[in-house]
Amino acid sequence: MRFVFLGLPGAGKGTQARFLSGRLQIPQVSTGDILREHVQEGTSLGIEARTYMDRGEYVPDDLVVRMVEERLQEPDATKGFILDGFPRTVPQARALDAVLAEVEAPLDGVVKFTITDPIAIRRIIGRFTCPVCKRTYHETWSPPENDRLCDDDASPLEKRTDEDALTVKRRLAIYRQQTEPLEGFYRARGLLIEVDAEAPAAEVSERLVRALAEASG
Ligand code: AP5
């Protein structure tokens, strides 16, 4: 199964991608996570990407497309994948089409998680992330058992560098300009599946499973 997850920053793409990845045993391919790893390791891609990410802007298409092409060639992606945060622009979507056409492996669905701006902002401002396993927590809605330590591996939780209120607002505006057009792009192909993502995470997971079952007929 091959899916794309769309939605505002904070919509819960990462949370639901982790859930579905475990359920279907297919990898979650998060371009945000891969880029942050490059930043952490100080690779040339990471050094270039950081300037865009810290401002809440998109990393140039050619860099991200190359990175995703390489990732999808890894053996675990041959049985399927969940693209979390890619594509984000029409040129990225066209590049993905070309990659998938080459291996005759079309997308099964594009899930759009819907939330309002105020909820997106509250979710991001309250988020903490484990730098090791990438699990996310929220100070109000899903706090860790021990203050600021990951429940799974006890690593100290961190805030990302793009989570201040001003940067979040810029990320929302950029999503509207550059990523929202993809909804029409995929709707026109009958691939768009909309999931209301304002409920608690477990309920959104149930809605996701139901929506995917309905879409597959
Ligand atoms: P990326 O890391 O992909 O960020 P994003 O898309 O802005 O999304 P987020 O990770 O902020 O949110 P999410 O929807 O995954 O929500 P989450 O599940 O964490 O990208 C970061 C940057 O990298 C971009 O700005 C750009 O610079 C660059 N980049 C990445 N991909 C790129 C591309 N393709 N092209 C160009 N540049 C690219 O949930 C958020 C919080 O809410 C968490 O605390 C979580 O615990 C909580 N939560 C989740 N669901 C619920 C729920 N249902 N109820 C209550 N709380 C919930």
Q: What are the tens digits of pLDDT across the range 9-21?
A: 999 999 999 999 9
Q: Using the predicted structure, report yes or no on whether residue 185 has a pLDDT greater than 80.
A: yes
* Cβ partners under 8 Å of residue 139, min gap 6: 126, 128
Which two three-digit tokens encode residue 144? 């860790």
Q: How confident is the model at residue 147 (pLDDT cuts 50, 70, 90)?
A: confident
Mean pLDDT (the chain, rounded): 95
2 C-alpha to ligand 1 centroid (Å): 19
- Token pair 């699990």 is at which residue? 135
- Separation of CA 96 from chain center: 15
User: In the annotation, is 66 catalytic?
Assistant: no
Contact 119, 85 (CB under 8 A): no
> Which residue's CA is the closest to the ligand 1 atom numbered 41?
123
Contact 3, 111 (CB under 8 A): yes
CA dist 115 and 8 (Å) reads 7
Contact 56, 168 (CB under 8 A): yes
Q: Using the predicted structure, report yes or no on whether residue 184 has a pLDDT greater than 80.
A: yes
44 C-alpha to ligand 1 centroid (Å): 23
CA dist 119 and 114 (Å) reads 10
Q: What is the mean pLDDT of residues 44-52?
A: 95
CA dist 107 and 101 (Å) reads 10
- Within a 10 A sphere around the Cβ of 144, how many other Cβ atoms? 18
Q: List all residues whose CB is within 6 A of at least one atom of ligand 1.
A: 7, 9-15, 31-32, 35, 52-53, 56-59, 64, 85-86, 88, 92, 123-124, 127, 136-138, 141-142, 162, 171, 197, 200-201, 204
Q: What is the mean pLDDT of residues 179-189?
A: 97
Q: At what angle do helices 31-41 and 44-54 cross, to 10 degrees?
A: 120
Which two three-digit tokens encode residue 80? 């399927």
Taking only Cα atoms into account, the Rg of the chain, rounded to an integer number of angstroms, comes to 17
